[in-house]
Amino acid sequence: MCDLIALLQQCEDDTAKFLGRGEANRLSNWRSHSGSQGELVSYIRGLLTGDRRINGWKVDQSGGLSLERMVLEHCPDSFDESDRTEARKTLGLPLA
């Protein structure tokens, strides 16, 4: 099982570095879902299709860890194919 808490912390740090503290503060809401892996997965799922999904592309293009890379490369078994498809769309990757 992947360590979503460590990965989300890295994603938050990279978001602050590349997009500013305001965007990172929005992402920091993940902490209120840190009670279980399932809660974190559900929270991330919501963000993958949310209105700020462009942030994932921006962070990824800057060399940081995005939620989308977490889904595709670090924790693929924690997410389903529709989650991975949304991540690919945001990053502009082939849809498999």
pLDDT in tens, 41-94: 999 999 999 999 999 999 999 999 999 999 999 999 999 999 999 999 999 999
Q: According to the model, what pLDDT value does residue 91 have?
A: 97
Q: Domain range holding 58?
A: 4-91
96 pLDDT tier (thresholds 50, 70, 90): low
Q: According to the model, what pLDDT value does residue 86 have?
A: 96
What number is the average pLDDT over the span 26-52? 94
In whole angstroms, how far apart are CA 30 and each of 26, 35, 73, 94? 9, 10, 19, 28
Is the confidence at residue 1, as pLDDT, over 90?
no
38 belongs to a structural domain: yes
Q: What is the pTM of this model?
A: 0.93
82 belongs to a structural domain: yes
96 belongs to a structural domain: no
Please tell me the total count of domains within the chain.
Answer: 1
Q: Which among 45, 31, 43 is positioned nearest to 82, based on CA atoms?
A: 45
